[in-house]
Amino acid sequence: MDKKVALHTLGCRLNFSETGSIAQDFVDRGYSIVPFGEKADVVFINTCTVTDGADSTCRNIIRKANKSSPDGKVVVVGCYAQMESGKVAEMEGVDLILGTSEKYKVFDYLKEESKTPIIKIKKSKEFYGAGTTTVDKHTRAFLKIQDGCNYVCSFCIIPAARGRSRTISLENAVARAKDLVHKGFKEIVLTGVNIGEYEATSGTSLASLVKEILNIEGLERFRLSSVEPNTFTDELLEVLKSSPKVLDHFHVPLQSGSDTILKSMRRKYDVQQYKSVIFKLKEAFPSCAIGADIILGHPGEDTEDFNDTYQLLKDLPITHFHAFPYSKRQGTTASNLPGHISGEIKKDRVSLVNNLGNQKLISFSEAMVGKFNEVLFERRNKEGLFEGYTSNFVRFAVDTEEDLSNQIRKVFIEEASNGALSGKLVDTLI
């Protein structure tokens, strides 16, 4: 009988992309994948340690895994495992603990038998590639081109957990991208912890890599995940502008709209530089959607700093907000800074910014009504409509009998409601 594996991922896109690739390795070795929470021979948990809150979520998930599969092997991997292997080892039912680089060797370690948890943690120096594969049932593939980070942002534990920046070579990245296209993926998203640092580690500019990938025949859509504003070069912008495959959706983390706080966060840009990147993007891609991460309530953020952030977000053409309250993470510089903000104030600031974000997304989507767009369809939603995303990443739904999964279709947008769109397939209008 087939062995069963249940996988659970916490944290960032990159973690999801890595689990995707490891899931495929399980399938290749004859495992069948069951939903997390069902009884399995192996429960694989890819953890995150971005905040103290993330740590406790990981611990809850580990407890659940032990409950659902008391006789299975519970494997805890990734950033939380890397940083807190001792605490994980003390938890009931954990069999194997693998750090951020050792997680790829899970099959070697699964063979080992031991009455106490096996712990394999090394400093991450090598690059392990990952690309989402068909087991994820996703229509877009996430291709990892970079890992780790050499920056020292005050609030971030990633450099300690994932190690220094390292990258895939241009040749390997292109080969993997071709393979994904060959497997039927229509859209590729390049991911990493800090992909703008690709050149600093590989010697090849990110722009050259993107150019090569855009040349792949059969690739229809392309996006970059988050790009730090200080690494968004004019060369990169030129390459993006030159191809119709590039989707008009970008993500440029802001974190704060106050220069004082950006400095205290040890970010590598100021408000002026950030604005300049956003305006250049908007000029090159007039209907583009732009997403930004925002941390509210970083130590020392006073009312004026917050107001500056709010005003900047209001003024800039940013449409997709990812606002989080600053959350203390032991081991980071920010955790020892003076001027920590109360939970109440942080909550208020996040809700003010989220309300602004919702309004902006609503206006942005309303402005798309009466226009054409191309949607990559994913699945049928609970209401029975077929759903996907427009080129500028707004949810779109259509009432149709057709199975549209993994199809790119031209649509006409008829209605916007609460930041989501609906309309018709263009070929049904003729």
Contact residues for ligand SF4 (CB under 6 A)?
Answer: 149, 151, 153, 156, 158-159, 193-194, 228
Whichever of 233 and 407 has its CB closer to ligand SF4, that residue is: 233
Residues 121 and 161 sit within 8 Å (Cβ to Cβ): no
State the helix-helix crossing angle for 303-315 and 343-366, rounded to 10 degrees: 10
The CB-of-194 to ligand SF4 minimum distance in angstroms stands at 5
The CB-of-150 to ligand SF4 minimum distance in angstroms stands at 8
Q: How far is CA 33 from the centre of its chain?
A: 22
Whichever of 161 and 181 has its CB closer to ligand SF4, that residue is: 161
Residue 50: name the closest of 286, 331, 246, 277 by CA: 331
The CB-of-152 to ligand SF4 minimum distance in angstroms stands at 6
Q: Is 59 exposed, middle or buried (0-12, 13-18, 19+ CB in 10 A)?
A: middle
At CA 330, angle to CA 149 and CA 9, rounded to 5? 60
What SS3 class is residue 276?
Answer: helix
Whichever of 55 and 136 has its CB closer to ligand SF4, that residue is: 55
The CB-of-343 to ligand SF4 minimum distance in angstroms stands at 22
Whichever of 29 and 263 has its CB closer to ligand SF4, that residue is: 263
Whichever of 156 and 170 has its CB closer to ligand SF4, that residue is: 156
The CB-of-162 to ligand SF4 minimum distance in angstroms stands at 8
All residues at 6 or more sequence positions from 179 whose CB lies less than 8 Å from its CB, including other chains: 131
Q: In this structure, what token pair is assigned to residue 125?
A: 């120096």
The CB-of-380 to ligand SF4 minimum distance in angstroms stands at 36
Determine the straight-line distance between the first and last CA of the chain, rounded to whole angstroms: 52
Whichever of 266 and 282 has its CB closer to ligand SF4, that residue is: 266
